[in-house]
Amino acid sequence: MCTRYSLTKGQAAILALIKAMKDNTGRANLASTIYPDGVAPVVRQTDKGTELIKMRWGFPKPAIFKGGGYVVNVRNVKSGFWKPWLKPEQRCLVPVTSFCEFTDKLDPRTKRKTATWFALSEKRPIFFFAGIWREWTGTRGTKADPVTGGHLLYSFLTTDPNRDVNPVHSKAMPVVLTEPEEWETWLTAPTERALKLHRPLENGLLKIVLTGEQKDAA
């Protein structure tokens, strides 16, 4: 399960790729690590065109689940819980330069799982996770800095790991979209067609660019 990723390219680089008609992020700071409940840029389609906007990472849990935390990864797209958010108007693209998966096995020296960062290359070009978004009202943020009111929330899809990720983390990987046609399909196509993108990335496209570090500041 991917619970952290980085975005070390700025708004201009994102806009150059997706040619958004509106940039409503204000000043979107670069981030060596984005954690659940963090605020980050996403791309969504509106009735006025493509928009770059900030949202907060993590959907509220279904009511049947108790305890804290958020749903940051979406695996079972056949679940009725996710159905309303898989419509074109609720889908989004999450810009990423690298993402972290932890090893299945503990490091015999540290007795901990090892953080392993994946990117398309050492230069860390931008790609996108296939995301969803929703409006929500309540309190988010930390106890020291709570934010109460209306929020825009996002999460992103995961799927089976490809051969690049599987030796490190055998449970899942994010749905990675690297081509403009895929971005357009995810934002605008009917749900049945868009969900054909719910699959592992082609083998050989991801590279391990960092290991053992909690942040990828490259």
Tokens matching residue 199:
């699959």
Whether 204 is in a domain gets the answer yes
β-partners of residue 46 are: 49
- Block residue for tokens 């899809």: 157
Question: Across all residues in the chain, what is the average pLDDT?
Answer: 92
Report DSSP state, residue 162.
-
Let me know: does 137 contact 150? Beta carbons within 8 Å: yes
How many contiguous H segments (helices) and E segments (strands) does the chain have? Answer: 3, 14
CA-angle at 52, arms to 188 and 35, nearest 5° = 105
pLDDT of residue 23: 83
pLDDT for 141 equals: 86
CATH assignment at residue 179: 3.90.1680.10
pLDDT at 182: 98
* One-letter amino acid for residue 5 of the chain: Y
Is 216 a member of any domain?
no
Whole-number pLDDT of residue 100: 97
- Kindly state whether residue 206 falls inside one of the protein's structural domains: yes
Q: Is 217 within a domain? A: no
What tokens were used for 87? 């419509």
Quick check: is 218 in a domain? no
What would the mean pLDDT of 31-35 be, rounded to a whole number? 88
**Confidence band of 30 (pLDDT split at 50, 70, 90):** low
Q: Where are the beta strands (DSSP E) in 5-126?
A: 5-7, 22-23, 31-34, 39-46, 49-57, 73-74, 91-96, 98-106, 113-119
> What band does 28 get if pLDDT is binned at 50, 70 and 90?
low
In sequence order, what are the beta bridge partners of 91?
Answer: 132
Mean pLDDT of 34-49: 93
Distance CA 51, CA 89 (A): 12
Q: How confident is the model at residue 145 (pLDDT cuts 50, 70, 90)?
A: confident
Number of domains in the chain: 1
Q: Is residue 48 part of a domain?
A: yes
Residue 128, strand partner residues: 95, 177
**What are the residues whose beta carbons fall under 8 Å from the beta carbon of 191, sequence distance 6 or more?**
86, 87, 88
The answer to whether residue 21 sits within a structural domain is yes
pLDDT score of 29 more than 90: no
Give me the domain span that covers residue 147: 5-211
Amino acid letter, 188: T
pLDDT confidence bin for 21, thresholds 50/70/90: confident
Residues of the chain with pLDDT > 90, as a percent, come to: 76
For range 161-165, the mean pLDDT: 98
